Chain A
Amino acid sequence: MRHDHLITSKQLSRADIETVLDRAAEIDADPAAVADRHANTLLGLLFFEPSTRTKMSFETAMKRLGGDVVDMGSIESSSVKKGETLADTVRVIEGYADALVLRHPREGAAKMASEYVDVPLLNAGDGAGHHPTQTLLDLYTIRENAGLDDLTIGIMGDLKYGRTVHSLAHALTNFDTRQHFVSPESLQLPREVVYDLHQVDESATIREHDSLEEILPSLDVLYVTRIQRERFPDEREYQKVAGEYQIDADTLEAASDDLTIMHPLPRVDEIAPAIDDTDYAAYFDQAHNGVPVRMALLDLFLSEGGETDE
């Protein structure tokens, strides 16, 4: 893998993705082997909007590689509050750390910030833009549970605003997958995303549906996302629509026994708690997979030249 920064999953080839996932699998199998691998390494955490989970996951990953983190802290207490630009902030923090992780509310923030620094910068979410480490942990989870080739996946919920979904869909075009998108009409994939998917892969198998019913039996993976209350004008409309995209034991009668259900979490009531203890549920594993995947990424980017030294 040869990249200076990780800005979007779109920059990753199939080979890049496989390099990351293979490394994550090695680390997952034997975490002790890398426990001191990046001793004395400092990771700078710049979170311009709260995302405790992602931040903790990166922090855990760095510490499990033997390193430590320096944290900008909350925006309220930082110089950003005093009007400092992101371009200035990253250039200052770059001097403290060996790599940076950035979460920012504006789209394109990571791309811009990366143009100002020499240390590797990993995008941990830029507004409605990209969140490549989430995509990689999703891919890892899919590979562990169902494999990435000859895959039939259903992606359901808020497909319009869900950046997780856009990145994942894009990354999956690197593999032999059939993608079914299930959502209410008002929350369909943006046309730009559909256009992009066809741009990268003319033969991409992409179908859109307003109901899960007709495709559920064919799915290997069902990826559920949250439909947010604020997307709807009133509570009643929300309840009505959201209710149609919830998963419970009844829904799953029609599913294959091997179905894997994923969710980026946190969930509200998209997936009934009764599903948690079934073999379908992979969403907690998915969340845990964030650590080995981020360890793999940090290891690859912190090793010389951003290349694997295997």
Chain B
Amino acid sequence: MSDDRDGDEHELRVSKIRNGTVIDHVRGGQALNVLAILGIDGSQGEEVSVGMNVPSDRLARKDIVKVEGRELSQDEVDVLSLIAPDATINIVRDYEVVEKHRVERPEIVEGVLSCPNTGCITTGDEPVSSRFEVLDDGVRCTYCGTIVREEIASLIDT
């Protein structure tokens, strides 16, 4: 993987973090959805910086999300793949990138998206969390079978 030369200059716009996670190469405009998927809304006091529509070589426009004091788990990273398939995840400790990985599509996504089918058992008052099977080109509710291919981010359970 080449280093992020394209980002260097522009990333200055977004302050460096000491410990935490940098999610880079997020498709332009998806940064807020990335935060939503991770359940980060600022209410817990997390220090979050967001760069939106930053010019990039790999993507015409990319978003960058930096979360201070939090290292993403593999599960969280996997779920990101649904809306940010090109994202790279940098785990930062003491201002150094100590781990760098690409997202991978998970087989199952649990409890993150809500089913758009209002007749689905998961949208009622049952104590069950949503579960979606990840297809090549979308996701499918394990319970009712509804397939969603577009606007997956709009299903993020907030």
Q: Interface of A with B (CB < 8 Å)?
A: 83, 85-87, 104-109, 111-112, 115, 126-129, 192, 195
Contact = CB atoms under 8 A, between A and B. Distances in A.
Give the interface size bracket for B toward A: 10 to 19
B119 A192 contact: no
A109 B121 contact: yes
A83 B124 CA distance: 11
Interface of B: 117, 119-122, 124-128, 141-147
Contacts of A108: 120-122, 141-145
Contact of B126 (A85, A107, A126, A195): A85
A112 B128 contact: yes
A107 B143 contact: yes
Contacts of B143: 107-108, 111-112
For the complex, would chain B's binding face be called helix, strand, loop or mixed by DSSP majority?
A: loop
A192 B147 CA distance: 7
8 contacts: A106-B144, A107-B121, A107-B143, A109-B121, A112-B128, A112-B143, A192-B147, A195-B147
A87 B143 CA distance: 14
Contact of B142 (A111, A126, A127): A111
A106 B146 CA distance: 13
Given A87-B127, A107-B144, A112-B143, A128 B122 contact: no
Given A87-B126, A126-B121, 9 more contacts: A85-B125, A85-B127, A87-B128, A106-B120, A108-B142, A111-B142, A112-B128, A112-B143, A127-B144
The 4 closest A-B pairs by CB, nearest first: A108-B143, A107-B144, A108-B144, A108-B121
- Which of A105, A112, A126, A129 has the most chain B CB atoms closer than 10 A to its own CB? A112
Nearest to B115: A108
A112 B147 contact: no
Contacts of A109: 121
B46 to A, nearest CB: 34
Given A106-B124, A112-B126, A128 B142 contact: no
Contacts of A106: 119-121, 124, 144
Contacts of B146: 107, 192
A126 B126 CA distance: 15
A115 B125 CA distance: 16
Contact of B119 (A85, A105, A111, A112): A105
A128 B119 contact: yes
A111 B121 CA distance: 9
